[in-house]
Each structure stands twice: as C-alpha cells, then as structure tokens.
Chain A
Amino acid sequence: MTAPADVTAALQSKFPQVTPRPSGDHPAVNVSPAEVVAVLKYLRDELAYDFLVDVTAVDWGVEASPRFTVIWHLFSTTHHQYIRLAMNCASDTEPVAPSATGLWPAANWHERETYDLLGVKFADHPDLRRILMWDEYPYHPLRKDFPLAGIEVPLPDIEVAELTGASAKPAPMMGGPFVASSGEMNLTDAEPRAKDESWTERKVKPVSA
C-alpha cells in the first residue's frame, strides 16, 4: 500500500483506457463509466487513497456534449496526496453514473445531492432520493438551463398551499446577487439590471419574444 510518485502512470499500467486530464493543482485522470468503480477500488486498496473527499458533477451547458461530467476527489491520509477522477456521462439528457457507496458509505449523501441538484442518476445507489429540495420538486436547480430565480411550483404541502395561497415563485432579482460569468468582470455588465433580472414582486419581468 504505497502511493507512487506518478499515480497517473501507475493507473495507466493497470487500466490502459485511463487518460491524464489537464489540472491546475492535483493529479487528475479521465475514466470511463465501465471502469470507474474498479479504478476507485484500486486507488483505495492498492494505492492508499483511502478518503473519499467529494463526489460532485459539472454541467458544461445545454449545447455541450458530453454535457455532464461526474467528479470524484480522493485523498490519501497516509501519503497526503489528492487525486481527481472525472467521468463523462454517456447521455446528455439522462446522465447515469455508477455509485461509489459500495466502497465508501460516505458517498451516499454526496450522490444524493448530485442527483438532487444536477439530475445525475447513480446506478446501484441504495436510496437515491432528493436530499435538499423536497421530494416532489420537478427540476434540478444547478443545471445551466435552470434560472437562479427559480420556476413557479406548488409548495411541498398541499394543505398549507391551499390555506395560504402561496407557492414557490421566481425570486425578485431587484438588488439581487451579481451574476458575473467568468471573464466578465465589468461590473456594469454584471449587474442584475444588465441581465434583465430587475423585476420585483410588483413589476413583473417582461416576457421576451
């Protein structure tokens, strides 16, 4: 159980399909959906990457293909090294990834959050329910085609919704958060007003043609 100096090469000698991935900090590799659980197990049992730090995913945009990339971060508590694994989902509409809950029980809630917010389904997950939004919520809010303000849906409790007449409405963006894309550091252009997000409860957002 030792972490080699060049973990990418060590992985490639065992899994030829693994390719290195450009990274600004720690070693990173691309893995295929078929191999990812085996690679994770090999890293845990043979290369001493015993700590699953994070499971998350990236939405590269509606136009992109592959659109969804699932990310695992591992850490070796004995050798103090990180490694990042990335896996492109085959489907852009129904992304699926294998679950790491069989290797690390801690992956359970990480994968539920990734499913909740990005809609990546984890095959063989023992309990794949939403973890932050309520169960009936119809969207995945961190997807790029979901507006920050939200989309109107009924409240989780029908009784309370009828009693109060309230619903989960798009949030007014007047004075709201600055939503600067990366590289767009001109603050005038980054204001909510510039992005047509200046509506309030009284002044409804005009519908663009």
Chain B
Amino acid sequence: MVTANTELAYNTKIEGDIVVTKADAVINWLRSSSVWPMPMGLACCAIELMAVGASRFDISRFGAEVMRFSPRQADCMIVAGTVTYKMAPHVRRVYDQMAEPKWVIAMGACASSGGMYRSYATLQGVDQIIPVDVYISGCPPRPEALLDALIKLQSKIGTERSAKTLLASA
C-alpha cells in the first residue's frame, strides 16, 4: 500500500543514508586524509622524520603513515635535510615523477633556506627548484612540528578548488 509522503524535511528512513555536500569538500576530504609522503631524507632531519613515523608520534593518526619510496605512489614530498647542488637535479626529477596532485613540505632550516650551510655546495632553499607548500623551521624540527606542518597542509588541501581543476584537466 502506498501512502502519501508527508515528510517535508530529509529523512534517512525514506531517502536512505545520503549526505548532500559539495564535490570539493568530498575530494579534499579524501585527499587530505590520505597524504602519502615521499620521504626525501637527505640529512639529519630524516631521523626526526623516522621518529614521526614511529609509535610515539605516530603520523598514521593523520593518515600519512604510508611512506612510499616510489614517487609514482606518493602525494607529498617531505624534503628532510640539506640539498646539495649535486643532489638538486635528482630531487627535481623525483618531484617530476610524482603524480598530480602533489605537495611539498620543506622540513628544517636547510631545506627551507640552506640553513647554516652558506657555502658553494648547498642549494639555498629547495623552493628554488620545486614549489614548496609548507616550510618548517628548526634544526632539526621537533616531530610535533612536522605533524603541525602536516595539519597545515591538510587545511591547505581543504581550500583547493579540486573539482574545477579535475574538470579542467579532463
């Protein structure tokens, strides 16, 4: 027997488990909750990066525990350490091999600005060769600082116009 629908508002008993939202919000929620890092560990900052992955700080609380050593499977390059001029082209190549969308965290003083290495051998900031989304100060930064940067990056991903970008590239 069919009865007249007298419901004026949304009712899960009738419509099922449906949530109405924006495409951007869904896509960004997916992306920011599973940022797979590409650990570009070049110096002592990489030790702190390992600490972030271990149980005490536990980066998996933020969905970023899947360190991928293949750039094809990574979303976010964490440049952890001193970038020498000899290494710089390889950093750029690995970045180029990562699939879009991709982000970069410059971890620590050296990756951000060359740090204490004011010398002929050191790239004075990795932002000269790749676009950096979040910079972290410190030499090396505390693990909490990297987690803070990840949260900052997640909120930055949340502001992106992802649906528009996807449709434009399709």
Contact = CB atoms under 8 A, between A and B. Distances in A.
Contacts of B93: 157, 160
Interface residues of A, number: 29
Given A164-B92, A171-B122, A156 B116 contact: no
B81 to A, nearest CB: 16
Given A160-B92, A164-B92, A171-B114, A150 B119 contact: yes
Contact of A150 (B86, B89, B120): B120
B44 interface: no
Given A166-B128, A166-B129, A160 B89 contact: yes
A85 to B, nearest CB: 29
A156 B118 contact: no
A198 B88 CA distance: 25
User: Interface majority SS on A: helix, strand, loop or mixed?
Assistant: loop
Contacts of B117: 171
A178 to B, nearest CB: 11
Contact of A173 (B89, B92, B118, B123): B118
Interface in A154-207: 155-157, 159-161, 163-164, 166, 168-173, 176-177, 201
Interface stretch (A11-19, A50-58, A97-105, A141-149): A141-149
A151 interface: yes
Interface residues of B, number: 19
B85 A156 contact: yes
Interface centre among A141, A161, A171 (most CB of B within 10 A): A171
A205 to B, nearest CB: 13
Contacts of B114: 171
B119 A134 contact: no
Given A166-B129, A201-B124, A176 B89 contact: no
B26 interface: no
Contacts of B116: 177
Given A141-B121, A171-B120, A171-B122, A164 B128 contact: yes
